[in-house]
Amino acid sequence: QQPVQSPQAVILREGEDAVINCSSSKALYSVHWYRQKHGEAPVFLMILLKGGEQKGHEKISASFNEKKQQSSLYLTASQLSYSGTYFCGTAITGNQFYFGTGTSLTVIP
């Protein structure tokens, strides 16, 4: 039931772009994206809903393919502060929430 993310880890130089993918074997009603820095709480980035609605930060973009049960997070012009572990998350039923396997992103100068 846990969504699978790819890549597992990525290293970028400042200013480079990255794409993080999230794939589920179950039907998705929505996809959440969170970023977590080491030892800290996950921080909300974006929600993508069926029908194309999105809620989140203006500088973050993402896509949601309902038929393929996939979502992608697009990080452009990366900054050092983007470093962390990115998790997608899905609610299978009601309030039962599953985080993805995580993608570690490191931005270097």
Residues that bind other proteins (CB under 8 A): 2, 29-30, 32, 39-44, 47, 49, 55, 87, 90-91, 93-102
Nearest to other proteins of 11, 43 (CB atom): 43
Q: What is the DSSP letter of 52?
A: S
Q: Which two tokens stand for residue 1?
A: 């039931």
Residue 76 Cβ vs other proteins, minimum distance, rounded to whole Å: 22
List for the chain the helix, strand, coil content (%; round to 5).
5, 55, 40
User: What is the distance between the alpha carbons of residues 76 and 84, in angstroms, rounded to a whole number?
Assistant: 15
Residue 5 Cβ vs other proteins, minimum distance, rounded to whole Å: 9
Residue 15 Cβ vs other proteins, minimum distance, rounded to whole Å: 28
